[in-house]
Structure 1
Amino acid sequence: MQTNISRETLYELVWTTPVKTLAAQHEISDVAFAKTCKQHNIPLPPRGHWAKLEAGKKVYRQPLPERALGMPRDVAFGASKWNYYGSAPRNLIELELTPPQPFVETLGEVRAKLAKRVKKVTVSRDLSLAHPVIRKLLEADIPRREKYLASTYRSLYDAPFFDSPFEQRRLRALNALFLCLEKNDARVASSGKNPKEFCARVGLSDVSISIDDPKAERSSWYGGSDIAKAASNPLVVNINRAANVEELQTTWHDKSDDRVETHLTDIAVNVLVAGEHTCRERENSCYQWLLKYKADIIERANREREEAEKAARERRIKEEKARVDRLLSEAKALREAEEIRAYVASVRKLNKNSVDPVPEDELRNWALWALDQADRIDPVRSRRFLIDR
């Protein structure tokens, strides 16, 4: 089960209760618990802390650092990595959901603070000091280049991806941006070589990053002009392409007198702000999701209750009808039993006054059999009318 605890509450807990105890309460290992605290920048007591505390010695409590950009204000234990919002609390119906509290700083104030902190981004002349993501792309190009240069018939399908002046310029811009982001606690990753496959993780929030020719078609990397594409071709930078936020700039274009490289510092700041914005949006979206989920649970419970009540009513009606039908059947059986007895009495009377009567033994045997049948179907004699009431 998932439980959410505010950073401040968790900070107080870890400094008043041993981690092993807290971890057991959340049904995870103490290593996993400590790792979660570290991820959320919550300091833990050092070794010997509890022994000193028990001995009555003075201990130093490390203050709680500021929440990192892109990190949620609540710490989730037991959340599923496959579920965007984690899982709903088991007692959601009983919980009174309240909207998230406003953040202390607006995104504008976050941006202003970052603008002072982030140092100016400069683009190097070459890629000798490349970010690991860029270095991996360049290293993958080495065997392609060797094969291409050694071939007597050079096919563009075998050509290196990043040798053109344009691609070198693009990688240098990406490299400078990535190095800056890493210095500011963001982690850059790529799922491939295409420009749309780069992202920066700010806290626990992913921000997509693309630097490319605005007219480039990337469904297939290969193209006859790519290997000699000039560095003067325009570049466009996009972050969180689908985002539309007033406080957030997401696109920068090359201009004749203003290249995107001069805006890399501002781009880095906006990437970090975008990560914080995504984190805040997720918190609000989670609240809205819980509201809807709770309403759905209540609606489903009401519907199930109404369906159960309807089924119970229909069952009672059916049972009552069956009882009435049985009652009518028993009344009919009683009439038939009385008719048989009356018939036997009439036969005996008529036989006594008959010119050629049936012998008494035969008549008696028949009458006994007929009266037995009357008793058998008589619901009063058999007491069937009292069964299943």
Structure 2
Amino acid sequence: MRTVAATIGISDVALAKHCKKADIPVPTRGYWARKQARKPTIQIALPPRFPGASDRIGEPPRNDYWGADWTEKFKDVTIPPVPIFDEDMSSVEERSRKLVGQVRCGRKFEPAHPLVTKLLAHDEERRKEFAKKRHSLYAPKYDAGTARRRLLIINALFLTAARIGCRPLMNTSKYVEEPGGKRDLWITIGKAHVCFTIEPHQIEERRPGERLCLVFSRERDRSNTDKSWEDREESQLENQLTEILVQMLLSAEA
């Protein structure tokens, strides 16, 4: 580690951190001594790159095209060659399905993702206020109905995403959920940020009630909202979560 780090101008500690962050295995303690003594050693195989992750380590140099002469600067930019990828998307999809496994949505928040736990804590505060004031303004939000279903789905997606190495994110403010307002959710997959919403929609008058619809797009292409899933007669949204998370991984990779 010290030898390689010196050749690229960083410390061995910094190099070790980069390797850990990128899931690059490094020789175990005593590896080189055993190798020099001609004793058996094990070289850990480099795992495949995580969907949506970069194939480069560290921050690339930034080009600044701002200023009055930005058009002239831009003319001098060399058009890069068409990239060649080591793995096609069908292979990434197969690997993603094995990685995700099965996303199961329970009827209780057991266990609960830490972000969901914060919302449930707010609900507990509302429950105490409701017991005192008996006003609907203070009623708990996640005891029943569509709001509870929605949060259970979020919990299932977040738990699985965290298990496979992704980072879920949502606003857990006590005052974020205004009636009729869309509430964005994110999952960071590799270097990509997939934004999605889960919102109720009214169904036909002859069939009273609401159906949940999940729509997602990548952060830098929020207009691309053609990927959506919703409650169907043959399958509720809860039964489609495995496919949804797989498609999120593929979207991040794309």
TM interval, short-chain normalised: 0.7 to 0.9
Uncovered stretches (5+) of structure 2, i.e. residues with no partner:
65-75, 203-207
1:54 CA displacement: 4.6
Q: Does 1:126 align with 2:104?
A: no
Q: Does 1:199 align with 2:186?
A: yes
CA distance, structure 1, for counterparts of residue 110 and residue 44 of structure 2: 41
CA distance, structure 2, for counterparts of residue 268 and residue 88 of structure 1: 34
Q: Give 2:200's aligned residue.
A: 213
Q: Give 1:183's aligned residue.
A: 163
Change in 2 beyond 3 A, CA 1:255/1:61: closer
Cα RMSD, aligned residues only: 3.2
Which stretch of the first structure deviates more once superposed, 97-106 or 268-277? Answer: 97-106
Question: Percent same amino acid at aligned positions?
Answer: 31
1:74 CA displacement: 1.6
Whether the 8 Å CA contact 1:213–1:235 is kept in 2: the answer is yes
Which stretch of the first structure deviates more once superposed, 20-29 or 45-54? Answer: 20-29
Whether the 8 Å CA contact 1:213–1:233 is kept in 2: the answer is yes
Q: Give 1:16's aligned residue.
A: none
- Which structure has the highest strand share of the two? 2
Q: Give 2:240's aligned residue.
A: 263
- Which structure has the highest helix share of the two? 1
Q: Does 1:139 align with 2:127?
A: no
1:121 CA displacement: 2.5
Alignment counterpart, residue 101 of structure 1, candidates 69, 83, 93: 83
Q: TM-score, normalised by structure 2?
A: 0.75
1:256 CA displacement: 4.2
CA distance, structure 2, for counterparts of residue 232 and residue 176 of structure 1: 23
Whether the 8 Å CA contact 2:23–2:47 is kept in 1: the answer is yes
Q: For residues 350-365 of structure 1, what are the structure 2 equivalents within 5 Å?
A: none
Q: Which has the higher contact order (CA 8 A, sep 6+)?
A: 2
Amino acid at match of 1:209: F
Alignment counterpart, residue 35 of structure 1, candidates 10, 14, 17: 17
Change in 2 beyond 3 A, CA 1:251/1:55: same
Amino acid at match of 2:161: L
SS of 1:238's partner is strand
1:32 CA displacement: 2.5
Alignment counterpart, residue 213 of structure 2, candidates 226, 236, 248: 236
Q: Give 1:169's aligned residue.
A: 149
Q: For residues 46-61 of structure 1, what are the structure 2 equivalents within 5 Å?
A: 46-55=28-37, 59-61=41-43
Bigger radius of gyration among the two? 1
SS of 1:234's partner is strand
Change in 2 beyond 3 A, CA 1:243/1:110: farther
1:36 CA displacement: 0.9
CA distance, structure 2, for counterparts of residue 95 and residue 255 of structure 1: 50
1:138 CA displacement: 0.5
- Cα deviation 1:258-310 (Å, max 9, x = unaligned): 42222111101111112212xxxxxxxxxxxxxxxxxxxxxxxxxxxxxxxxx
Count matched residues: 229
Whether the 8 Å CA contact 2:198–2:212 is kept in 1: the answer is yes
CA distance, structure 2, for counterparts of residue 60 and residue 175 of structure 1: 39
Q: TM-score, normalised by structure 1?
A: 0.51
1:199 CA displacement: 1.2
Amino acid at match of 1:240: S
1:181 CA displacement: 2.2
1:126 CA displacement: 1.6
Alignment counterpart, residue 131 of structure 2, candidates 142, 146, 149: 149
Whether the 8 Å CA contact 1:121–1:176 is kept in 2: the answer is yes
